[in-house]
Amino acid sequence: MKTQPNLLLIFTDQQRWDTLGVYGNKIIQTPHLDRMGREGAVFENAITPYPLCAPARACTMTGFAAGKTHVFNNESASAMGEDESIAAYLSQAGYHTQAIGKMHFTPDEQTYGMDHLILSEEMRGVRTAGSLEEIRFDDYDRYLMEHDAWGWEKPPEIGYNELKPLVNGLPKELHITQWCGDRTVEWLQKERPSDQPFFLWTSFVKPHAPFDCPSHLTDLYAPEDMPLPWVSDMDGTSKNPYLASHRQAMEADLYSEHAVRTNRAYYYANITFIDEQIGRIMQTLEEEGLADNTLVIFTSDHGELLGDHRLWFKNLGHEGSLHIPMLAWWPGVIAPGTRCEALTTLLDIFPTLVNRTSEKPEPDGRSGLDLLELLTNPSSVRREVVCSEFYVAPNYMLHVRSKEWKYLFYQNGGYEELYHLLSDPHELVDLADSPDFQYVKEELQKAAVRWVINYGNPEIALDETGSKLKVMPFRPQEAKSNPRPFSRMPWDSRVPPSLLSIEQRSWFWKEMGGDWSGIIRLLRGGK
């Protein structure tokens, strides 16, 4: 096996596994990722360890589950030191480590030991600022300012987690997806070190909501051709009041069938745009003579429900949210056309990358498996289940998946769902209450307890005996009023919060009158 190869990790954000041709999708156009799959390996059962952005990325970078990192939401600080990251281990082995795109490391100053970061963080340094003095611009913000386009990253009247199917206002050449592709190609051509191997993590913002279509791709997919979501009255979600509150918060039932199909068409268009950029990146590897000595892994931090079970976005344990694409490509090492049925997870990326160095670290509380060893000697690996979790008090959810079954446990109220994935891949019939399958549920519960003890956080997940999953009396979510239907972000400063009193409005409205351009003028020394 080749030693000290270059390592390229390509992420998308919120992409479900079944949105690539190589996974059997007959509608979507992803020729470059399909080629990667044909020339390398396709992992059929890849799962996110945590279906939320920042926690999934912390899991990936450290190899630890969220119960160890303590990154449970998009603001949490990691409990792991920077010396416990992929970047730290690779730096010690002589690698240059580079990040490009959306990292969503928390807090904002977190780098996980990366040597250099070129960031596009969805204007988070502006949106989360408490005052003008706290505003922080990232590299993509500054790029848009140079082109007099800052403030138009999203269409008017849309926030960062909405379902409204609108069109992005930027031309192709300024779009955040094009920028990420451009910066990656430029780095490979002009900026990569010539005297050491590199670890490059390129991470695209899209297809994360909102599903605002790139302006040049509005006609690529016809809404009427889009498949409808998987919905059933027998899927088990109606018995859980938490999921009812989730639907209410998403305002999903306000959207027509045409709007749902249009959202899916725009979601597909964003993925096709990313695929184009990945094709450019792969071509650059070949033109620069890097292809034969570069391991490339493509995946996503988590999926997107796209209306399945009348639910949207992520956080939950259903396939659309949990099941992610994962491809690996390395000419001469990974056999073309490999299809791997084994259960895999983002936690496997840590050992896969770090083990390419001369010194392999001890697992030390990590559950990950080396994907290349899994491909070369699959019989040596016995992994019966993979687990994923989500925790925002009072809601701790644990998802247990085997190749055949899926068990979803909701600590808040003790609600359960059980699906036989081989006969019911769309999870339309819940078997959790069926007497015929109690033995299956019990076995998956035992597997979950073992996983928590070995890799998770028993204090959060287990009862006082330490041998069973903890059940808490149901606590309903506190309902939050939305002054603007169809807009989940009342603080989104491009839309006048006309129904909010002046006392309820953000500093941005009080100090700037909601005028984006005022920020730019002030920072440039104007009035």
The DSSP bridge partners found for residue 339 are 42
User: Comparing C-alpha atoms, which of 254, 237, 304, 275 is closest to residue 13?
Assistant: 304
- Give the model's pLDDT for residue 23: 98
Ranges of H-type helices in 237-256: 241-250
Cα(442)–Cα(448) distance, integer angstroms: 10
Cα(257)–Cα(274) distance, integer angstroms: 26
User: Comparing C-alpha atoms, which of 46, 42, 50, 117 is closest to residue 78?
Assistant: 50
The DSSP bridge partners found for residue 142 are none
Take residue 442 and report the two structure tokens written for it: 């019990």
- Give the model's pLDDT for residue 99: 97
Helix, strand or coil for residue 441?
Answer: helix
Q: For residue 130, how far is the Cα from the chain centroid? A: 26
Contact 62, 114 (CB under 8 A): no
Distances (CA, A) of 178 to 32, 70, 118, 207, 285: 15, 33, 14, 13, 18
Contact 432, 417 (CB under 8 A): yes
Cα(292)–Cα(284) distance, integer angstroms: 12
- Give the model's pLDDT for residue 516: 64
Q: How many helices (H) and strands (E) does the chain have?
A: 16, 13
Angle at 298 between CA 295 and CA 300, to 5 degrees: 145
Contacts of 267 (CB under 8 A, 6+ apart): 19, 207, 211, 304, 306
Distances (CA, A) of 396 to 69, 144, 315, 392, 414: 16, 39, 11, 6, 10
Residue keyed to tokens 């109690």: 438
- Amino acid residing at 412: N
Task: Read off the pTM.
Answer: 0.93
- Give the model's pLDDT for residue 137: 87
Long-range contacts of 258-261 (CB under 8 A, 24+ apart): 258/223, 259/163, 259/164, 259/165, 260/228, 260/229, 260/307, 261/223, 261/224, 261/226, 261/228
pLDDT along the chain (527 residues), means of 10: 84 98 98 98 98 94 94 80 89 96 82 90 77 84 89 68 86 97 98 95 95 94 96 93 86 87 97 98 98 97 96 95 98 96 96 87 84 88 92 92 97 97 98 97 97 95 96 82 48 49 69 68 61
- Give the model's pLDDT for residue 245: 86
The DSSP bridge partners found for residue 202 are 10, 100
Cα(200)–Cα(206) distance, integer angstroms: 18
The phi, psi pair for 413, rounded to 5°, reads 100, -10
